[in-house]
Structure 1
Amino acid sequence: MSVKIKKGKGILFDAVPDSGQVMVKVAPHGRPLYIWPNRLGFPESLLPKIKKQSVPFLYPPQTPVEYKGGSWIVNMCADADEYRNALIGLDRAFGDKIPIFNHPRAVAMTRRDLSAKRLAGIPNLVVPKCVRFMADENNSFQRAFEANGFNYPVLVRPAKSQTGRDLVKIDNPFDWPKVYKTHWQGKSHFMTQYVDYSNTSGDFIKSRIVYVGERMFVRHVKRAENWRIHNQTASSKTTDEAWEASISEQLMSDPVFHNMLSEVPVRVKLDFFGLDIGVDLENRRAILFEANAAMSIFFATGADERSQARATRLQHPIVRALEEHFATPKNWRSGADIGEEPVERIFQS
């Protein structure tokens, strides 16, 4: 089948996860709502525009499809493990031909173990050791721990986990049974060296930085009494907006943090992604958690004045930058800019 695309229009590339599984929940109108995991998240103001200017494509197609005349592609597949096959297919077909928003080679390199290698060496950014392994036997975890020279504690998680689900902290040799309570068997996992980032008051501070091209924005700053700071799992202290704004300003203006954070998009080479870090203000350093395009960026905004003010401060600048960047495909990363091998070779590493 051949599809002719009008001049100036593009392709909205989406895919079924390699597992063939999506989540389903009941929507307010009583109908099923399908939730595709680890996809690129656009603001509500931009996604309709993208759909209007593009032809949708869902990988893998039932029959071969040839597209003629497409000027650009938006890649919705945001996770290297979830959409391995789709990223390979997209790169084979279009990797060096037309601009691709979030190029598949750059997405492939955000796999946690590969990302750790790429971001290592940035001054004042602590990049913990991370390895990928297959858990097919009870002692797979212990073997990975010993073979790679880890020290306790370590963090273990399934390869496709982006929400903290089945994330386990192993503090000592007697903690390994924790992993057997998860859905572990026959799945690829990551093991990461744990780094304590608490301050002298016992607080943990986490920030999410959002990048549009090489422009950066603070999406949020949170603090908790526990290392695991997450909307669904953390017992966070109430975030004071003045405190959050102060830390945000320090991250953006302090030369140590600014220079460190500015180097990240140079290496990651995605058009739009997020960076999660543990913030150690006392030692003026940050600890890498993850850097990828699968993060939640845009939050629901309430009608109250406080919610509107927070959205104006944190969210609106990202939306404006994203709309500007999307409008200029010639400024998107190309295969030549990324300088990596084809995706299928990246995944062989």
Structure 2
Amino acid sequence: MNKDNNYINPLIIQRADPFIYKHTDGYYYFTASVPAYNLIEIRRAKTLAGLAHAAPRTIWRKHDSGPMSQLIWAPEIHYIDSKWFIYFAAAETTSFDENGMFQHRMFCIECDNENPMESEDNWIERGQIKTHLDSFSLDATCFEVKDKLYYVWAQKDPQIKGNSNIYIAEMENPWTLKTSPVMLSKPEFDWETRGFWVNEGPAVIHRNGRFFLTYSASATDENYCMGMLSVSDQADLLDKDNWTKSKEPVFQSDLAQRQYGPGHNSFTVTEDNQTDILVYHCRDYTEIKGDPLYDPNRHTKIQAFTWNDDGTPNFGKPVPYNYQ
């Protein structure tokens, strides 16, 4: 079960914003940002370790022009109502808008084929997922509760200082919001505002009668780290007051082990479904030339984590690189 974290790490090199989904067919499906930010690929394997050697399959490519033609970021693959959906962010240009931000919006593609890797032709575009603001938005994820589908993402509000906040809304269908968005978190603590004021990359796990929503904060260098929100699974998830925000990061750089900027995580489980796995990206150096965004060496890592007596997750520290 690899409870001792005996995984090869990094699991997959040069793949940032990693997302791993374990499906009912027994396969793990993996997708992430590719360094060229120009396409979406999927790989799959029967084991987590097997993903390291699985051949990627391109299932969608950026457009030649228009809103989905630049900087394809952070795809996530989900299985909803017997269909596959991938959420991702894309921009029309690499230039900044009037707020000094990239110009990303969120998009969705759908596949009703049993095997989502079979062909690019099996994927159809559902278009942009529109929210309450026409502004920089990215890093969408979703989860189901009592037959309701919830959407969580990061977005810039020009009236709030910083790059992005975390929002939640119920969905009408996998590409349309049903309710007005609710802001759950904004950058406010010092560890959320180093380099940039950022809350992004949300991920949700349900355990011990609560939903835990992790997110990433600060600039994408060694300051990048993870925060966490939590809420009772009996509470109204669209009421901000029901959520509790951690005042300290729950996962951060380990300077002694040269593990820098862990974040943009997702969650999965071991093959026997007995142990929870944290999936994230990380670097092993800080001497980045130019914009950290274009440094390709944010590698996908995985590690088991445990649960504290109070029911909260204990992520520990980023495990050292372990090339085997």
TM-score, reference length from structure 1: 0.25
Q: Which has the larger radius of gyration?
A: 1
Quick check: which one's helix share is greater?
Answer: 1
The TM-score normalised by the length of structure 2 is: 0.26
Q: Relative to total residues, which structure has the larger strand share, 1 or 2?
A: 2
